[in-house]
Amino acid sequence: EEGKEPAALSALARVPSLPLIQMLLEQVPSVWPCCHRKQLASGQPLRYMLNLYQNVADRAGRPRQNRKLGANAVRLVRPFAKTRQPGAGPWYMQTLDYHLNIQPGMEHLVRATVVYSKTLLLAHAQLFCVVQLAGEAGVPKLSPPRRGKRNALVSSRMDSWEERDITSHSLPWAWDSKKSQLLRLSHVCIRLGPDDGSEPEVGWEKTASLNDPFLLLYLNDTRKGLRAKMGKASLKETPDGPVLSRKAR
């Protein structure tokens, strides 16, 4: 209950009838490598995941019966590196690299998608964007909206995020060694309106950065693998036979 001593609460975590609390404790990250949580999770990615959460779980955290995720875990992955590609005319392009970091034997990739904003608003222009997978040849198929719909697009910018299935492209990466679990995407945007040959607008990179496409990895946490790992960690052989030991937190 609220207001009780923290010691009593930590005791709750040791109640034998709640073994998965202990499993959760095992997963608590002890060190945060770079930034505060608020910096790590903010903006559109957080909004997207909160929206996903509200759709598949109730306020108490219970998964809804009618949820259609097809997986028991969804990981949102942001790019760890990006390179601006020099372009001319109305084209803007950057290359984005993602670490998939799927743990074979513990996580099974069911589906992968990339989520990106179809439109970006700059101070004096609007960009229409797509993502291309590495290896996809040719000019991206951009079909900018007709002029008459422009205002509608601006006002519905929050709804302009699109989820594109890239499962068939991602699967070969998912089962290989950790080093090769890299996925490269091109984020290509075109300025709406006539091409006047001017330089890309200042602020494009900042706006694009705030709206970087992100991956959604739909995973099944394979409990068998998880239990095997926990078993190995906690069961140690001694001359007198196996003994159970608690992993240091």
Partner 1 sequence: QAGNLILDLPSYSQKTSAEKDECALHSFRVSFNQLGWDHWIIAPHRYNPKYCKGTCPRILRYGYNSPNHAIVQNFINQLVDQSVPRPSCVPYKYSPISVLMIEPSGSILYKEYEDMIAESCTCR
The reply to whether 221 sits near partner 1 by the rule CB under 8 A is yes
The reply to whether 20 sits near partner 1 by the rule CB under 8 A is yes
Nearest approach in angstroms of CB 242 to partner 1 is 24
- Pick the stretch among 72-80, 121-129, 188-196, 237-245 that binds partner 1 (CB under 8 A): 72-80
Nearest approach in angstroms of CB 115 to partner 1 is 12
The reply to whether 138 sits near partner 1 by the rule CB under 8 A is no
Size of interface with partner 1, in residues (CB under 8 A): 50
Q: Which of 41, 182, 192, 230 binds partner 1 (CB under 8 A)?
A: 41
Written as six digits, the tokens of 48 are 């997207």
- Asked if 150 and 126 touch (Cβ cutoff 8 Å), the reply is yes
- Asked if 189 and 84 touch (Cβ cutoff 8 Å), the reply is no
Those residues with Cβ within 8 angstroms of residue 195's Cβ, 6 or more apart along the chain or in another chain: 89, 90
The reply to whether 7 sits near partner 1 by the rule CB under 8 A is no
Q: Which is nearer to partner 1, 62 or 124 (CB)?
A: 62
Q: Which of 11, 14, 24, 193 binds partner 1 (CB under 8 A)?
A: 24
The reply to whether 11 sits near partner 1 by the rule CB under 8 A is no
Q: Pattern 78-117, binding to partner 1, x per CB under 8 A?
A: x--------------------x-x----------------
Q: Which is nearer to partner 1, 29 or 138 (CB)?
A: 29
CA distance 237 to 234: 10
* Interface residues toward partner 1, by CB under 8 A: 1-2, 4, 6, 9-10, 12-13, 15, 17-21, 23-24, 28-29, 31-35, 37, 40-41, 45-46, 49-50, 52-53, 56-57, 59-63, 72-78, 99, 101, 221, 223
